[in-house]
Amino acid sequence: MQVADYIINKPDHLQKKILDNIIKLGLDFLSGKIRKNKVLIFKTHQELKDLVSENFPFEGTDIKQLLTQVEDTIVKYSIAQADKNSLAFPDIGNSFIGIAGDILSIFLNQNLITMNRGAPIATFVEIQTIQWLRQLVGYKYNSLKDINNVKLVGGMWTNGGSMSNYIAILIALNVKFPEIKTKGLNALSCKPVIVLVKQIDHYSFITAMQCLGLGSDNIIWCEPKDDYTSDAEAIENELLKLDSNSKPFVLIGVSGNSKTSNLDNLEQLYHVAHKYKLWFHVDACHGGSLLFSNTLKEKVKGIELSDSVSIDPHKGLFLPYPSSYVLIKNPKHLTLFERHQEKFSQTHLYDLGLISPLYGSRGFHSLKLWLLIKHLGTQGLGKLVDLRHETNRILIKALHELHIFVFLTNSNFYRAGFVYCPAKIQEIIKQMDSSKYDKIIPIINYYTELYCSDLYQSGKLVFDLFRLTDFKNCLGIGRHNVYSAMGLTVGHPFIEPKKIDYIIKTTIKTSRKYEASYLKSMKNLNDPNKKYNFTEHNSSPTNW
């Protein structure tokens, strides 16, 4: 290749051929061919480092050689979240039209900071998409034809849910205390605080409090309900206890927490927010996908009462990263950080960069969601969401009936948490004197981690591994015990019976490997030679 060929600028047979091969490589990855039909071909971090570690190259590498290396290392050892045996996260990202749209957006390389010279038609595609999302949520929305200024848009694309949540809290804070923007927080005579619910709080809200200069000490922590949802009454009690200097400004509805995906009762929370004049933000990064389903949208009712909503199509809507949106009910509030105030009063000003704090130049990431909605319609997307829900129900039921696991949560959505605790172990626990409970928790954790890591490293079946409290005392040894739990999220709408069968058989087979030693450990609680600290870093818990 000549240096001139490094840049695409003319029809070029060779370049077209290479890109077609990239498509083939991508499809072979998704189909499983390139990874021996495993979720991943596991390598230790040492092995992975050895594959990648390299001095800063002075000379280049021939493209064919480079792409062979990419296939043999990067593609081969990536994890396939889209595989049906990948049950850790919902982020499957393999919508056909979504991938097609995202590929096209790379070539187009529009800059959504500005309409003229940056993104003439892309700007309107994004504004239309945001209006559809507003309609979906139940906010007032505009026909694109009636939008004559960026001030009326009322939503923005972001890179992910953490960012969307941060933007919402930023806007909430500045709506309640408009002087902060110019004078800073020191100008306030009160102390803005926020109430978060333990266990189901998302880390993004803690980071937001830190980054906004409010400080994580000013988070008021509140207990959750035992079904892993926010307790409106408990929150109100916390609000009543606040000293007069502490000013809560926002209440968060968790519409699908990232641990168990349980969905808050948004209407109850709204009433508290309304009563105390708080901004009501709904984190629907997970739950937002349910809005497409006629039968399931009931689970997020009350979302229309919110002042802002975060939605992550790259989580529940089968799109590749990045795709997240934050919607602000009153579009005016999303203009608080507008740039170029002198231009801002003009009509026919459509530069999205004018209203997006922290986002300047950025690509045409809304093309894929626009295409997804157009290709499937709400009807088709709703059908996919319904199918996923049904797949989830079937899979959890099948796993339940094995009596290998104890489920700590009964998800009303797409995620379950459970520990590895075969029937025989459960029997032993039932007979056990309560004085021994403290000793068995590390053992249950140890074998759950071992079991989960075994599956992960085999590449056969991937669950998440995270910390979960047994609020409902499903293990029968206390309501406040925290376990290393396996997380199962059904992201894929179609897991056919044969695959479910494979999942079941694999879990049983793996259990057989550990049952004997598990039993032995439970019977020899006082064995001083046995330590139950799981130290396998190559498959450490994720716990996000």
Q: How many CA atoms lie within 13 A of 11 on its CB side?
A: 0
Residue (520 or 531) nearer to a second copy, CB? 531
99 binds a second copy (CB under 8 A): yes
Contacting a second copy within 238-297 (CB under 8 A): none
Q: How far is the CB of 354 from a second copy (least distance, A)?
A: 10
Q: How far is the CB of 229 from a second copy (least distance, A)?
A: 21
Pick one of 287, 428, 515, 540: the residue that binds a second copy (CB under 8 A). 540
Residue (58 or 528) nearer to a second copy, CB? 58
Which pairing describes strands 155-158 and 191-197: parallel, antiparallel, or unpaired?
Answer: unpaired
Q: In what order do the strands lie in the sheet with 482-489?
A: 405-407, 415-420, 482-489, 464-469
539 binds a second copy (CB under 8 A): yes
CA quadruple 395, 401, 405, 406: dihedral positive or negative? positive
442 binds a second copy (CB under 8 A): no
How many beta carbons lie within 10 A of that of residue 402, not counting itself?
Answer: 13
Residue (210 or 237) nearer to a second copy, CB? 210
45 binds a second copy (CB under 8 A): yes
Do residues 222 and 235 lie in contact, with contact meaning Cβ atoms separated by under 8 Å? yes
Pick one of 85, 88, 222, 483: the residue that binds a second copy (CB under 8 A). 88
How many beta carbons lie within 10 A of that of residue 240, not counting itself?
Answer: 8
What type of residue sits at position 384? Answer: L
Do residues 357 and 167 lie in contact, with contact meaning Cβ atoms separated by under 8 Å? yes
Q: Which two tokens stand for residue 213?
A: 């200069």
Considering only the stretches 209-217, 222-230, 391-399, 419-427, report the one whose residues sit in contact with a second copy under the rule CB under 8 A. 209-217
Q: How far is the CB of 233 from a second copy (least distance, A)?
A: 28
Q: How far is the CB of 355 from a second copy (least distance, A)?
A: 11
CA distance 354 to 341: 9
The β-bridge partners of 193 are 248
Helix (H, G, I), strand (E, B) or coil at 353: helix
CA distance 544 to 530: 30
Pick one of 374, 403, 479, 513: the residue that binds a second copy (CB under 8 A). 374
Residue (377 or 476) nearer to a second copy, CB? 377
458 binds a second copy (CB under 8 A): no
Calculate helix-pair angle for 266-275, 232-241, nearest 10 degrees.
Answer: 20
Pick one of 70, 423, 516, 525: the residue that binds a second copy (CB under 8 A). 70
Please identify which residue in the block is written with the tokens 């809507």.
317
How many beta carbons lie within 10 A of that of residue 208, not counting itself?
Answer: 24
Q: How far is the CB of 375 from a second copy (least distance, A)?
A: 5
82 binds a second copy (CB under 8 A): yes
Considering only the stretches 249-257, 349-357, 437-445, 503-511, report the one whose residues sit in contact with a second copy under the rule CB under 8 A. 349-357
How many beta carbons lie within 10 A of that of residue 446, not counting itself?
Answer: 20
520 binds a second copy (CB under 8 A): no
343 binds a second copy (CB under 8 A): yes
Q: How far is the CB of 403 from a second copy (least distance, A)?
A: 26
Pick one of 68, 72, 108, 140: the residue that binds a second copy (CB under 8 A). 108
Pick one of 37, 140, 198, 203: the residue that binds a second copy (CB under 8 A). 203
Q: What is the DSSP letter of 531?
A: -
Considering only the stretches 118-126, 430-438, 475-483, 518-526, report the one whose residues sit in contact with a second copy under the rule CB under 8 A. 118-126
Q: How far is CA 79 from CA 34, 39, 466, 488, 502, in A?
A: 11, 6, 19, 16, 19
Pick one of 138, 155, 313, 322: the residue that binds a second copy (CB under 8 A). 322
Residue (143 or 529) nearer to a second copy, CB? 143
Each residue 1-20 as x (binds a second copy by CB under 8 A) or -, in order, gives --xxxxxxxxxx--xx-xxx
Residue (383 or 400) nearer to a second copy, CB? 383
Contacting residues for 401 by C-beta, under 8 A, at least 6 apart: none
Residue (53 or 435) nearer to a second copy, CB? 53
CA distance 152 to 112: 16
Q: How far is the CB of 154 from a second copy (least distance, A)?
A: 15
Residue (378 or 426) nearer to a second copy, CB? 378
CA distance 330 to 322: 25
Contacting a second copy within 160-189 (CB under 8 A): 160-163, 166, 170, 180-188
Q: Where are the alpha helices (DSSP H) in 140-283?
A: 161-176, 180-183, 203-211, 232-241, 266-275
Q: Where are the alpha helices (DSSP H) in 156-255?
A: 161-176, 180-183, 203-211, 232-241
Pick one of 36, 37, 60, 427: the residue that binds a second copy (CB under 8 A). 60
Q: Which two tokens stand for residue 74?
A: 């990067």
Each residue 375-404 as x (binds a second copy by CB under 8 A) or -, in order, gives xxxxxx--xx--x-----------------
145 binds a second copy (CB under 8 A): yes
Pick one of 138, 155, 287, 363: the residue that binds a second copy (CB under 8 A). 363
Pick one of 420, 492, 507, 510: the residue that binds a second copy (CB under 8 A). 492
Considering only the stretches 223-231, 316-324, 325-333, 432-440, report the one whose residues sit in contact with a second copy under the rule CB under 8 A. 316-324
144 binds a second copy (CB under 8 A): yes
CA distance 90 to 179: 40
Q: How far is CA 436 from CA 250, 449, 524, in A?
A: 44, 21, 11
